[in-house]
Structure 1
Amino acid sequence: MSTLTEQDETLAMLRDSLARYLDDNHGFEQRLYALRKADDAPPPFWQGLASELDLLGAALPESQGGLGGGMAAHLAMMETLGGALAAEPYLSTMVIGAGLLQRHPGAQADALLKRIVAGQAVLAFAHGEPQSRHDRADVQTELARDGGGFRLNGRKAVVHAAPWASHFIMSARSGAGLSLLVVPRETAGVRLRAYPTRDGGRAADIAFGDVRLPAEALLGAEGSALPQIERALDEATLAVCAESIGIMRRLMRDTLDYVRQRKQFGVPISSFQVLRHRLADMHMALERAAALTASVGEHVDTADHDERARAVSSAKVAAAKACKAVGQGAVQLHGGMGMTEELAVGHCVRRATLIEGQFGPPAWHLRRVAKLRPAAT
């Protein structure tokens, strides 16, 4: 992806291929069937992203088996997956998990990345705890030296995609500070309580009781993980902004189709001026969020901590406001049908509503920006 034109063309082909595949393998009826089945195997479409499309490594460097697309590829994938309500486990596995692994190269990370790109491994990021409330440094899970390895004790809460995961990348605290470790799911002492989320995904609370790990489970140097955690969560936050764009574009399409067909007083309700104004407001909120997300995505890889934090939090606030405007508008324009299980609009609105608070609600991000030093002029 050497020039902007080549990159745009490559990303356009990626979007088209992925959208066609999801139409065939994760349409709305197939999603409803998967929700009724609700087991702990990865979604049926997941393996095909590797075996049929070879797209799981789109963002990874070519040296690690990817296409070198970086954050631009993540955002393109997340927007397209969002439109199909299929963002997990790509978010946890590729955006967060693979992102952390590629920044900690070594025999373990490289081997796991190869398995991930081949669709043979799924990752979940076990970081949040019952007391943390979006405080990225509030980790009480204990890490202690145990002979030549480590011992873990603690709990993680609402770990998205955990029931599907083969490995967890988790945070823990020792006297040296925060560290990251790779923990295979079948490790003795790891216990999951799995449950469905309101948006149709899967999550789990995880308990680690005297879990013993070898020294090579550690990613990077002990106690040095907080900057990497913050970067990973900022990238994930921007990724769910892109996911929300895909969801809102689908909501706009479905809502426009509905108001053009629905008639009152013998005419389509799309001809009513008040509804046109409402649709215009929804469209403007969506396009503001889309433009800001795309702009931040172009610079997030090279920005310093404060620049990245300010830009990502600003994008998240815009996306959250747009989710509310578009989601509420879609439901109101559909009437009671907008909340039924038989229409995709209700499913999209539930996911958009949860995105508003995922990785921090708007108020948290506004406070974060307010605490940063003023941007250079």
Structure 2
Amino acid sequence: MDFSYSDEQRMLKDMVDRVVADQYSFEQREKIIKSDTGYSPEVWSQFAELGLLAVPFSEAAGGFNGGGAELMVVAEGFGRGLVVEPYLSTVVLAGTFLDAALGDDAKADALEPIISGEQKYALACYEPNGRYDPFWIETTAKKDGDSYVLSGKKAVVLGGDSADRLLVIARSSGDNPGKNGLSAFLVDGNADGVSRDGYTTFDGHRAAEIVLDNVKVGADALVGEEGGAAAPLQYALDRGIIALCAEAAGAMEVACDLTLDYIKERKQFGVPIGSFQALQHRMVDMRISLEKVRSLALWAACSLDAPDAERRQRLAAAKAMVSKAGRHVAEEAIQLFGGMGMMDESSISHYAKRIVLIDHYLGDGNYHTDRLIDLLVEENAAA
């Protein structure tokens, strides 16, 4: 299988790399994180002007019909710069959900505010009692005439503190953890009954705990068919996992580069510590971990159109490898930097934090390892 980028994908990579290099120096990123919004509206507008917000959407939705490889190119570039704009929450999760759930006649209108950068969305899916299971939904959607009443709690909603609209997954019928009976609703972020407790995460991004207290929405708030949200939700989460794995690869690459530069400069006993054979071996092991993540991420990214069982196995394997290999790179970088690696003033500490936190978004390593084992057992039982 040929994993080299096409000419169009290389052009996309060059564009993303230029934007990140121009807009995301370490000092610029620190200012953005400390701002009231936690992201840069100017950078977000630039992403829209360059078409980056349209990359993963179908042509019917007004997008560029980008696949897993294109999504990986963008996310890996963002990982190298530790970009904190809500691309994952708005474009990858909420946006691709809408693309999958809506008919061709409705996609363009629904996604235009996202592609133009005018509005930010957040997928309110995971719940306190469900942990990493996206289909454990206790939030209810009850019919009230031609309307619906939503009640429940959502946990760690990425980008949920500043999202203009929330894509809420609620249970309109059925029991947990069944996939049948899940419905999706677009809710104004400032609607009556919606309360958001926003915060900055350990890695500099933003999230929110959201409570829906008898939030009444019209029938037009329903996305797709009632009870039919499970399939588009899985579609969006698959792409979210690809984006996270690619972002981890980008961040790990820079972490390796920064560490190598440091051990070439840091001297002990009158010589650079990079001349010590033991540290050279550790650097090689870090690079091997990086290539494991990059290879599995690309393998999974090219499998989004594969049969369900094959796709799910590869996604689970990639996310599990991010947990193991990513943590290895982060911990080794901190060890080789020594005390400098623990300081906020040092960029390596921020790369390490982001790499470690990526493990916990959309299911951690233990969750996806168990998932992979279950999928393999099912496959062998069916053989």
Say if 2:280 is the partner of 1:282.
no
Say if 2:193 is the partner of 1:189.
yes
Range that drifts further, 223-232 or 279-288: 223-232
Say if 2:322 is the partner of 1:316.
no
CA offsets 1:217-252 (integer angstroms, 9 cap, x no match): 111211122232223222211210101000000101
User: Equivalent residue of 1:103, what SS?
Assistant: helix
**Counterparts of 2:309 and 2:84, CA distance in 1:** 27
Corresponding position of 2:29: 31
Unaligned runs of 5+ in 1: none
Match of 1:260 among 257, 264, 288: 264
Q: Is the 8 A contact 1:285 1:326 kept in 2?
A: yes
**Counterparts of 1:231 and 1:87, CA distance in 2:** 23
The size of the alignment, in residue pairs, is 372
- Measured after TM superposition, the shift of residue 6 of structure 1 is 11
Corresponding position of 1:329: 332
- Measured after TM superposition, the shift of residue 213 of structure 1 is 1.1
**Counterparts of 2:200 and 2:302, CA distance in 1:** 34
Corresponding position of 1:173: 171
Q: Is the 8 A contact 1:158 1:205 kept in 2?
A: yes
CA offsets 1:13-35 (integer angstroms, 9 cap, x no match): 11211221122222110111122
- Measured after TM superposition, the shift of residue 268 of structure 1 is 1.5
Q: Is the 8 A contact 2:322 2:365 kept in 1?
A: no
Instruction: Summarize the alignment of residues 114-129 of structure 1 with structure 2, pairs less than 5 Å apart.
Output: 114-129=112-127
Say if 2:91 is the partner of 1:94.
yes
1:278 to 1:6, Cα distance in 2 relative to 1, 3 A: closer
1:6 to 1:261, Cα distance in 2 relative to 1, 3 A: closer
Say if 2:145 is the partner of 1:147.
yes
Range that drifts further, 194-203 or 180-189: 180-189
Instruction: Summarize the alignment of residues 1-377 of structure 1 with structure 2, pairs less than 5 Å apart.
Output: 8-39=6-37, 44-51=42-49, 53-86=50-83, 88-106=85-103, 109-175=107-173, 177-300=181-304, 302-372=305-375, 373-374=378-379
Return the letter of the residue paired with 1:197. T
Structure 1 vs Structure 2 CA RMSD: 1.9
1:242 to 1:87, Cα distance in 2 relative to 1, 3 A: farther
Q: Is the 8 A contact 2:160 2:207 kept in 1?
A: yes
**Counterparts of 1:62 and 1:230, CA distance in 2:** 21
Unaligned runs of 5+ in 2: 175-180
**Counterparts of 1:5 and 1:70, CA distance in 2:** 14
Return the letter of the residue paired with 1:156. K
**Counterparts of 1:228 and 1:54, CA distance in 2:** 23
- Measured after TM superposition, the shift of residue 259 of structure 1 is 1.0
**Counterparts of 1:87 and 1:241, CA distance in 2:** 16
- Measured after TM superposition, the shift of residue 356 of structure 1 is 1.6
**Counterparts of 2:277 and 2:151, CA distance in 1:** 60
- Measured after TM superposition, the shift of residue 40 of structure 1 is 5.8
Provide the TM-score with structure 1 as the length reference.
0.93
CA offsets 1:93-133 (integer angstroms, 9 cap, x no match): 11111111111235664323111111111111101111111
**Counterparts of 2:347 and 2:41, CA distance in 1:** 18
**Counterparts of 1:239 and 1:40, CA distance in 2:** 20
CA offsets 1:19-71 (integer angstroms, 9 cap, x no match): 211222221101111222243665542121012x2221122223322222222
User: Equivalent residue of 2:371, what SS?
Assistant: helix
User: Equivalent residue of 1:163, what SS?
Assistant: coil
**Counterparts of 1:55 and 1:235, CA distance in 2:** 15
